[in-house]
Amino acid sequence: MKVLVVGGGGREHALAWKIGQSPRVDQVFVAPGNAGTSTEDDSPVMNVAISDHDIPAQLEFAKQNNIRLVVIGPEAPLAAGAADAFSEAGIPAFGPSKLASELEASKVFCKNLLRHADIPTAEFQTFHDCKGAVQYLTDREDVPVVVKADGLAAGKGVIVCNNREEALAAVNRIAGNREFGEAGSQLVVEERLVGQEASILAITDGQTILTMPAAQDHKPAFDGDRGPNTGGMGAYSPTPLVTEQIMRSVEEKVLVPTVHQMKRSRRPFRGVLYAGLMITKQGLKVLEYNVRFGDPECQPLMMRLQSDLVDVLEATVEGRLDEVAPMQWDPRPSICVVMASEGYPGSYDKGHAIRGLDEAAKLPDVKVFHAGTATQDGQVVTNGGRVLGVTALGDTISAAKLQAYTAVKCIRWNGAWCRKDISDKALL
Ligand code: AMP
Ligand code: GLY
């Protein structure tokens, strides 16, 4: 069968690579993909020059090429109704509907759903404008809060504040200056929590829930969790921070009630339900939901997945996930180190030639997933902020870390950098 993967980042490279390993798959098209998805040797993966935002062009391509499964990677096309568009055309598409994607696309919707379903989350208030939020912050005790733009803002619409002054400035950026555009038309102000973060991703067809092993992302740019927030500078799985007991509790108290509440709200959820959690002294709390695979969490997860991903994705679309065998995982931990362009998450140059990819690929238990890369005159060059996700398996987290950083050392370009402490929180 032929599969279309929508997106062009590290997550989509990992998904296309895994889907391409299925004996049932003849061809995997990636729209638009990156240099990694155009240079997968001995694999049926190839790029098509269609933007991940151009849903009509994706639909036309899928119709003309007899695509039997579409996998939508990023949140923006999901929130714009990509899954609905394919389903209406009779093409099976993996990913939630536009209405169900509100769980990620509107933090106000998400927080209200969590409150209604009695799912543990930070205390919060929502506001339609600057004035209400300013009044609220001025009237209450000066405590640390987090101010969030309601809509999608590429991970940047969340501002963690130490005091009232910072919170008022954050409200002004989001709702006053509209730094994140329409995303700031509503606001959430919530209690700031303290604890360790973990990402728990599950695949659900709206009835059955298959939980994947826990992962941990590293959002701040620099070692020791310092510096500005990024899309994620590295991830590993499994994380010992999530014990067997915490995992059961996430399933019972978070995932099951969320899937039920979505159904009751007439927004049945099919796709990846990604709970961003904080493990606090008072127990676990949901920070946010995403409605897709995490990037970079997807990379170490795909490295460990042994089952045929296509069987699981297809059964989800068809609403028969109860018939699928539990997913099998390599027991070895995996870690992914993101190599980034100089200047990221601020502005950065593109077009630097990347060297050493072949050398890194020769190392055992290593896979270099591309993110912001392109091919120029037969040479792989940088084309984004997060450039590569260097991923390795090892018998222990330390061994996986050593192997990933050994591969990182092979790779060079002008201005390349990465965090040096990915997975260290597992060893605290
Ligand atoms: P979100 O996009 O909502 O996950 O927020 C991005 C990041 O902001 C999270 O990964 C946390 O590091 C931080 N964050 C969000 N909400 C809170 C909160 N209530 N307390 C502390 N940190 C938070
Ligand atoms: N790794 C964070 C995200 O995908 O949103």
Q: Does 428 have pLDDT greater than 80?
A: no
- Alpha carbon 103 to chain centroid, angstroms: 14
Same domain, 290 and 220: yes
Which residues are registered as beta bridge partners of 332?
Answer: none
Same domain, 279 and 376: no
Q: What is the pLDDT of residue 245?
A: 95
Ligand lying nearest the CA atom of residue 147? 1
Same domain, 352 and 406: yes
Q: What is the pLDDT of residue 197?
A: 95
Please tell me the least confidently modeled range out of 14-28, 33-47, 58-72: 33-47
Ligand 2 centroid to Cα of residue 138, in Å, is: 32
Provide the pLDDT confidence category of residue 427 given band limits of 50, 70 and 90.
confident
Pocket of ligand 1 (CB under 6 A): 122, 146, 155, 158, 160, 190, 192-193, 197, 219, 276, 287-288
Same domain, 165 and 204: no
Measured from the CB, is residue 297 less than 6 Å from ligand 2?
yes
Same domain, 11 and 68: yes
Q: Does 228 have pLDDT greater than 90?
A: no
Same domain, 296 and 353: no
Summarize pLDDT for 33-50 with one digit per residue, the tens: 999 999 888 889 999 999
Measured from the CB, is residue 197 less than 6 Å from ligand 2?
no
Q: What is the pLDDT of residue 171?
A: 94
Summarize pLDDT for 342-352 with one digit per residue, the tens: 999 999 999 99
**Contact between 324 and 311 (Cβ < 8 Å):** yes
Ligand lying nearest the CA atom of residue 231? 2
Ligand lying nearest the CA atom of residue 110? 1
The whole-number average pLDDT for the span 252-256 is 98
Establish if 22 belongs to a structural domain.
yes
Q: What is the pLDDT of residue 41?
A: 82
Ligand 2 centroid to Cα of residue 428, in Å, is: 23
The number of distinct structural domains making up the chain is 4
Please tell me the least confidently modeled range out of 144-158, 299-313, 322-336: 144-158
Same domain, 31 and 71: yes
Q: What is the pLDDT of residue 155?
A: 72
Ligand 1 centroid to Cα of residue 158, in Å, is: 7
Establish if 428 belongs to a structural domain.
no
Summarize pLDDT for 386-405 with one digit per residue, the tens: 999 999 999 999 999 999 99
Ligand 2 centroid to Cα of residue 63, in Å, is: 31
Enclosing domain of residue 52: 2-97
Provide the pLDDT confidence category of residue 156 given band limits of 50, 70 and 90.
confident
Same domain, 180 and 204: no
Ligand 2 centroid to Cα of residue 270, in Å, is: 19
Same domain, 247 and 346: no
Q: Does 233 have pLDDT greater than 80?
A: yes
The whole-chain average pLDDT of the chain stands at: 96
Same domain, 365 and 281: no
Instruction: Give 305's Cβ-side CA count (13 Å radius).
Output: 25
Percent of the chain residues topping a pLDDT of 90: 93
Same domain, 290 and 338: no
